[in-house]
C-alpha cells in the first residue's frame, strides 16, 4: 500500500500501482486466498503508523483473515488496527528499533495476533536483517543475523514469522528454499515464505522442500500470471493440503 | 436485540460486519444496561485471558451476563470469548466466567507449531442448531495457542484435528463457544452466523 493504492516493486524498488485496495481484496477473497497481508510500506520510513481509514474499509468487505503492517510502534497503535477489523498485526522495522515491543504486543493480544516480518538480504556475511525497506534511500542493515533475530522474536512472543527473502523478491525465480529451510529449523511458530514466487512449482517446492506453513505472493497474483483457483488445484494434486 | 459485548478486546468490527452480512443487526456495547435488554449475546475476543476477564470485571459485566444466561438468552463466545466462558486457562491466573465446565491448556506437543493458525475442518460430535449440516471439507479460520478440556464430555459439540483431536466447539444449554472465527471464515462462517440469528 502507498497513498491508498496497492503497489508492487521489484526487490523493494520501483514500485508501481497495481490497483484499488477494495477491488483487489475482494477479488482475491473470491478467488480463494486464505489470508491477505497489507503492508503500508511508506509508514515506517515516513515516521507514521498505518492509516486506520483503509483498514476499516477493508474490514467492511473482507470476511477472511487479514494482517496489517506499517509503522505499528505501540500497543495503542495495534489496538486501533485490530479494533478496525484486522486479525493480526505485523511488525518489522519498529520491532528492530524496540525489540520489547514484541513482548508487549504478545502480552496484550496473545501471540496469535503478533506477526514479525523479517526482510532478509543475502550478503557475503550471510543472511542479514534489513530495516526501513519500504524506502530504497533509507533501507539499511539492521545489525542482526536473520536466524538469530528469528530466535529472539519467538522468545519474545511472536506467533508467526513472515520471512521475506529480499534477493528473490519480485523476480519470480522461486522462493529462497535454502534460507527458508534454515529458518524452518529454528522456527517453532508458523513460518510464512515470501519473495520469489513465479510458477506453480515454486509454490509446491516451498511446502515440500522448505517446510513452510504458508506461502505469500504478490507479483504473480497482481499480474494475473497465476490464478489462485488453478494454483490450489495444482497444489492439491501434488498432495499438499489446501482449502478448497 | 443482539449485543456484541465490547470489553476492549479487538475484532468487534468484523463480528458486526458478519452479522449484518447474515441479515441481522447488532449493537456493540460494554454497558450493563444494554446487556440486560439483549435477546442474544456475542462475546468476541482477541487477546490474553487475564486481560479479557479483567476488562469484563472492570465493566461489571460477568454478573449481568450470568443473569442473562440463566434467563435463557443465547450466548456465543468466539475464540478468546469461548475461552472466557470456561473455568480457567493455563494462560492466566484469573478464573473465567465458569459458564462451561472446561479448562484451557496450551498445545504442548514439541513437534507442533504453536499457535495453531489457519483453516481447519470440524468433526461434529453432537447435534446442535449452530453446527447443523456441516461438511467434512468445510474449513474455518483458527488462531489460538490454548484448547479446551471439558469436564463433561457431553458438552463437546465438535473437535478439530491438530496433532490429535481438540475441542473446537462446546455448549451447555444456551451457552455456546467456538474456538474458530466465524466472522473470518467466509461462506461457512456466514452460514454459522445465520444459524445463530435463527437460534
pLDDT tens per residue, range A33-92: 999 999 888 887 888 888 888 899 999 999 999 999 998 999 999 999 998 889 999 999
Query: Is the CB of residue B115 less than 8 Å from the CB of residue A112?
Result: yes
**pLDDT value of residue A189:** 97
**pLDDT value of residue A120:** 97
Question: Does the pLDDT at position A4 exceed 80?
Answer: no
Distance CA A148, CA A16 (A): 33
User: Which structural domain, as residue segments, surrounds residue B100?
Assistant: 2-198
Residue A185 or A6, more confident: A185
Looking at CA atoms only, how far is residue B71 from chain A in angstroms?
A: 30
Mean pLDDT across the stretch B47-56? Answer: 92
Out of 3.30.1360.230, 3.20.20.70, 3.40.190.10, 3.40.50.720, select the CATH number for domain A5-237: 3.20.20.70
A80 contacts on B by Cβ (under 8 Å): none
Mean pLDDT across the stretch A178-191? Answer: 97
Neighbouring residues of B67: CB distance < 8 A, sequence distance ≥ 6 = B36
| 3-state secondary structure (DSSP) of residue A160 | strand
**pLDDT value of residue A71:** 87
Per the residue annotation, which of B91, B116, B144, B181 is the catalytic one? B181
**pLDDT value of residue A135:** 84
Query: Per the CB < 8 Å rule, is B143 touching A190?
Result: no
Phi-psi region of B173 (alpha: psi -120 to 50; beta: other; left: phi over 0): left
Per the residue annotation, which of B91, B116, B144, B183 is the catalytic one? B183
Total-model pTM: 0.94
**pLDDT value of residue A217:** 94
3-state SS track over A58-106: HHHHCCCCEEEECCCCCHHHHHHHHHCCCCEEEECHHHHHCCHHHHHHH
Of A34, A63, A108, nearest to B189 by CB-CB distance is A63
Say how many domains are in chain B: 1
Neighbouring residues of A8: CB distance < 8 A, sequence distance ≥ 6 = A15, A16, A18, A170, A218, A219, A222
| 3-state secondary structure (DSSP) of residue A230 | helix
Domain map (residue ranges) of chain A: 5-237
For residue A207, the surrounding DSSP H or E stretch is helix A200-208
Q: Angle formed by the axes of helices A177-186 and A146-156, to 10°?
A: 40
**pLDDT value of residue A69:** 93
Question: Does the pLDDT at position A11 exceed 80?
Answer: no
Let me know if B183 is a catalytic residue. Answer: yes
Let me know if B181 is a catalytic residue. Answer: yes
Q: What value does the mean pLDDT of chain B take?
A: 95
Question: Does the pLDDT at position A3 exceed 80?
Answer: no
- CATH number of the domain that residue B107 is part of: 3.40.50.880
A190 contacts on B by Cβ (under 8 Å): 113, 115, 117-118
> What φ, ψ does residue A9 adopt, rounded to 5°?
-115, -175
Query: Is the CB of residue A70 less than 8 Å from the CB of residue A50?
Result: yes
Query: Per the CB < 8 Å rule, is A87 touching B46?
Result: yes
- pLDDT digits over B112-171, tens only? 999 999 999 999 999 999 999 899 999 999 999 999 999 999 999 999 999 999 999 999
Distance CA B136, CA B122 (A): 7
Q: What cell does B22 get?
A: 447474515
Mean pLDDT across the stretch A190-204? Answer: 96
Question: Does the pLDDT at position A143 exceed 90?
Answer: yes
pLDDT above 90 as % of chain A: 75
Question: Nearest-CA residue of chain A relative to B183?
Answer: A63
Question: Nearest-CA residue of chain A relative to B6?
Answer: A83
Looking at CA atoms only, how far is residue A14 from chain B in angstroms?
A: 33
Amino acid at each position: 500500500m502507498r497513498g491508498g493504492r496497492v503497489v508492487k516493486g521489484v526487490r523493494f524498488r520501483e514500485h508501481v500501482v497495481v490497483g484499488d485496495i477494495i477491488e483487489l481484496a475482494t477479488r482475491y477473497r473470491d478467488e480463494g486466498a486464505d489470508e491477505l497481508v497489507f503492508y503500508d510500506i511508506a509508514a515506517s520510513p515516513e515516521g507514521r503508523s498505518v492509516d486506520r481509514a483503509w483498514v476499516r474499509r477493508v474490514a467492511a468487505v473482507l470476511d477472511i483473515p487479514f494482517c496489517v503492517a506499517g509503522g505499528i510502534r505501540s500497543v495503542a497503535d495495534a489496538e486501533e488496527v485490530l479494533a478496525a477489523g484486522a486479525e493480526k498485526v505485523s511488525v518489522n522495522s519498529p520491532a528492530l528499533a524496540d525489540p520489547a515491543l514484541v513482548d508487549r504486543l504478545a502480552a496484550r493480544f496473545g501471540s496469535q495476533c503478533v506477526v514479525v516480518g523479517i526482510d532478509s538480504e543475502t550478503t557475503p556475511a550471510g543472511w542479514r536483517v534489513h530495516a526501513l525497506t519500504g524506502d530504497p534511500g533509507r533501507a539499511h542493515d539492521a545489525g542482526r543475523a536473520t536466524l538469530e533475530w528469528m530466535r529472539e522474536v519467538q522468545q519474545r512472543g511472536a506467533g508467526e514469522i513472515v520471512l521475506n527473502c529480499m534477493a528473490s523478491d519480485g523476480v519470480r525465480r522461486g522462493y529462497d528454499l535454502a534460507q527458508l529451510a534454515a529458518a524452518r529449523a529454528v522456527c517453532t511458530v508458523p513460518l510464512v515464505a515470501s519473495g520469489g514466487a513465479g510458477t506453480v512449482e515454486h509454490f509446491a517446492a516451498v511446502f515440500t522442500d522448505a517446510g513452510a506453513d504458508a506461502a505469500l505472493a504478490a507479483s504473480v497474483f497482481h499480474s494475473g500470471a497465476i490464478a489462485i483457483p488453478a494454483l490450489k488445484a495444482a497444489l492439491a494434486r501434488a498432495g499438499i493440503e489446501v482449502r478448497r | 436485540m443482539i449485543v456484541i459485548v465490547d470489553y476492549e478486546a479487538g475484532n468487534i468490527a468484523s463480528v458486526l460486519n458478519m452479522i449484518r452480512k447474515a441479515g441481522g443487526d447488532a449493537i456493540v456495547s460494554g454497558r450493563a444496561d444494554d446487556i440486560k435488554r439483549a435477546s442474544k449475546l456475542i462475546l468476541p475476543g482477541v487477546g490474553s485471558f487475564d486481560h479479557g476477564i479483567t476488562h469484563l470485571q472492570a465493566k461489571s459485566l460477568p454478573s449481568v451476563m450470568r443473569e442473562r444466561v440463566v434467563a435463557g438468552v443465547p450466548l456465543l463466545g468466539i475464540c478468546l470469548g469461548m475461552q472466557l466462558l470456561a473455568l480457567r486457562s493455563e494462560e492466566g491466573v484469573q478464573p473465567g466466567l465458569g459458564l462451561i465446565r472446561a479448562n484451557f491448556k496450551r498445545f504442548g506437543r514439541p513437534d507442533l507449531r504453536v499457535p495453531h493458525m489457519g483453516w481447519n475442518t470440524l468433526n461434529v460430535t453432537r447435534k446442535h442448531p449452530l453446527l447443523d449440516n456441516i461438511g467434512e471439507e468445510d474449513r474455518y479460520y483458527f488462531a489460538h495457542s490454548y484448547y479446551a478440556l471439558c469436564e463433561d464430555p457431553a458438552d463437546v459439540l465438535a473437535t478439530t484435528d491438530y496433532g490429535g483431536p481438540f475441542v473446537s466447539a462446546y455448549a451447555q444449554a444456551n451457552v455456546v463457544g467456538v474456538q474458530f472465527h466465524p466472522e473470518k471464515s467466509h461462506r461457512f462462517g456466514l452460514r454459522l452466523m445465520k444459524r445463530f440469528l435463527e437460534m
